[in-house]
A = this chain, B = another copy of it.
Amino acid sequence: MHDVAHTPHTEQHFEATETVRDIVIGLSDGLTVPFALAAGLSGAVASAHIVVLAGLAEIAAGSIAMGLGGYLAARGDAEHYASELVREQTEIVTRPQDEADEIYEIFEQYSVSREAATPVLQALQQNPGAYVDFMMRFELGLEKPAENRAHRSAATIAVSYIFGGLVPLLPYMLVADIGLALKFSVVITLVALAVFGAIKGRLVGTGTLRSAVQTTLIGGAAAAVAYGLARALNRS
């Protein structure tokens, strides 16, 4: 990314694809919350069976809540875009002077005079479709959402959450001793968080090591607090 000399100029600005973002959202919460819940419960209950039950219930609840939440958020964005589009399409016809003033105001923010902006305004007025697109992007800051984004987003987040959440639960399913299962769970989940954080850091450009440390610390902190809380409550 920072290798300016060897990459074409247009590719220097990285944009995470929306699918990568959805996978990151699902995986990071999936690795963290069921992990912390299982660790917390194993500090308070004697049965690995209950830890697994609670963990799977959490994965079901979390993946549905996050998946449906992602679905509604994406659909809400699409509807918001569509309704603003209709509004702008109407306004360039019914209140052309207001829209022209908005164009001037946009450019004034960047110290571009009305005189300098007028040729752009005239060009836009000759092409209503482009005029509307320009207002959507530059007045409202809205991008046209991808088709079917809502369904894909929901499924990607939910599946990523499930995959992430099964990692910390596996030891409790396979190892009978709950103390030993906790240790295994801590080790494999912290490793998984570090690997996930490193890959994420490389993809989004925040730095491999730094991102790995961050995701591991969040997961570790959540698990430590949940463990401490459950132990303290169980004693009281």
Which residues on A are within 8 Å of B, measured CB to CB? Answer: 9, 12-13, 28-29, 32-33, 35-37, 40-41, 44-45, 50, 52-54, 56-58, 60-62, 64-66, 68-69, 72, 76, 79-80, 84, 87, 95, 98, 107, 109-113, 115-120, 122-124, 126-127, 130-131, 133-134, 137-138, 140-141, 143, 204-206, 214, 218-219, 221-223, 225-227, 229-230, 233-234
Q: Is the CB of A64 within 8 A of B222?
A: yes
Bound Cα distance A66, B32 (Å): 10
Q: Is the CB of B13 within 8 A of A84?
A: yes
Give A158 Cβ to nearest chain B Cβ, in Å: 11
User: Given the known A-B contacts A107-B120, A123-B111, A234-B53, are A61 and B222 also in contact in the complex, defined by CB atoms under 8 Å?
Assistant: yes
Bound Cα distance A141, B227 (Å): 42
Interface of A is mostly: helix
Oligomeric state, in number of copies? 2
Q: Is the CB of B130 within 8 A of A64?
A: no
Q: Is the CB of A116 within 8 A of B111?
A: no
Q: Is the CB of A124 within 8 A of B110?
A: yes
User: Given the known A-B contacts A76-B204, A226-B60, are A120 and B123 also in contact in the complex, defined by CB atoms under 8 Å?
Assistant: no
Quick one: which of A112, A127, A223 has the most chain B CB within 10 A?
A112
From B37, B80, B107, A58 is in contact (CB under 8 Å) with: B37
Residues of B within 8 A of A115 (CB): 119
Closest to A126 in B: B111
From B76, B118, B123, B225, A61 is in contact (CB under 8 Å) with: B225
From B45, B76, B112, A50 is in contact (CB under 8 Å) with: B45
Q: Is the CB of A230 within 8 A of B53?
A: yes
Q: Is the CB of B130 within 8 A of A32?
A: no
Bound Cα distance A165, B229 (Å): 15
Give A112 Cβ to nearest chain B Cβ, in Å: 4
User: Given the known A-B contacts A53-B41, A62-B33, A76-B206, are A116 and B127 also in contact in the complex, defined by CB atoms under 8 Å?
Assistant: no
User: Given the known A-B contacts A54-B37, A141-B143, A229-B56, are A12 and B61 also in contact in the complex, defined by CB atoms under 8 Å?
Assistant: no
Residues of B within 8 A of A227 (CB): 57
